[in-house]
Amino acid sequence: MYKVYEIKQRVFESNDREADGLRKELKEKQIFLLNLMSSPGSGKTTTLTKTIQALKEDMKIGVMEADIDSDVDAQTIATLGVKTIQLHTGGMCHLDADMTRQGMEELGVNELDLAILENVGNLVCPAEFDTGAVKNAMILSVPEGDDKPLKYPLMFSICDVVLINKIDVLAYFDFDLEQCKKYIHMRNPKAKVIPICAKTGEGMELWYQWLRDEVSAWKKP
């Protein structure tokens, strides 16, 4: 006799409970946690840098940089004058709720309005694990192609907002912006889609305002 355990399902169930508990604590402390995801090279750190520069006078921000190794991104963000910590995943390609909780404890949550988790760069593993974030955001860059919502459906289905970055190079790539929006809404009809160029600033104010509104709404009783 033997018993079969569905390990993956059990892991997800445990993680989901941990994530729900973390969100409840964040609500009590009125801290908004954003999970920011993308593939490598999408412009995630550049977008985050511009976002912090635009919002740090209005709210207290802390950042958790997640990587398999290295602290390059954390060094970049730390120069902006916000509390920053580096999370190494020990070879894992994602963060889960318990890792995020540990990161939040290390970051220190007193007086924070907005905590941002820059997740490990890929479109598969991070989408599978609820980190306990209040909202999920992802960046899709023009050079990656407009068909990514078809190839990575889970990532797009869990995201509350999708930033389509590097629109300044649309003319040089076979990327249909309107078709991409349709693909995204096939996976997630409620997703907010914002075309941006983090480098030039085009469209970024729409993104800043979305984030301001979400942080404000989360803080309401």
What's the mean pLDDT in 182-200? 98
Residue 87 lies in a domain: yes
185 assigned to some structural domain:
yes
Task: Print the domain residue range for 190.
Answer: 14-216
Q: How far, CA to CA in Å, does 82 sit from each of 22, 39, 51, 91, 117?
A: 22, 24, 12, 27, 13
Domains: count for the chain: 1
54 in a structural domain: yes
Q: Is residue 5, in this structure, part of any structural domain at all?
A: no
Looking at per-residue confidence, does 26 or 87 come out higher? 26
Q: Please give the Cα distance from 21 to 24 (Å, whole number).
A: 5
Residue 108 has pLDDT above 90, yes or no: no
pLDDT of the residue at 69: 58
Residue 3 in this model has a pLDDT that exceeds 50 = no
pTM of the model: 0.92
The DSSP call for residue 202 is T
221 in any annotated domain: no
- Identify the CATH number of the domain in which residue 35 sits: 3.40.50.300
pLDDT confidence tier of residue 76, bands split at 50, 70 and 90: confident
Alpha carbon distance 204, 81 (integer Å): 21
What mean pLDDT, rounded, does the chain reach? 91
Domain-located, residue 39: yes
pLDDT at 89 (0 to 100): 72
Percent of the chain with pLDDT over 90: 77
Domain presence at residue 206? yes
Give the least confident one: 26-35, 101-110, 130-139, 189-198. 101-110
The number of residues in the chain equals: 221
Coil, strand, or helix at residue 184?
helix
Q: Which of 19, 22, 32, 35 is nearest to 161 (CA)?
A: 35
pLDDT of 136 > 60? The answer is yes
CA distance 153 to 183: 9
Please give the DSSP secondary-structure letter assigned to residue 174.
-
What is the rounded average pLDDT of the residues 71-75? 76
Is residue 133 one of the residues assigned to a domain? yes
Please state the rounded mean pLDDT for residues 151-168: 98
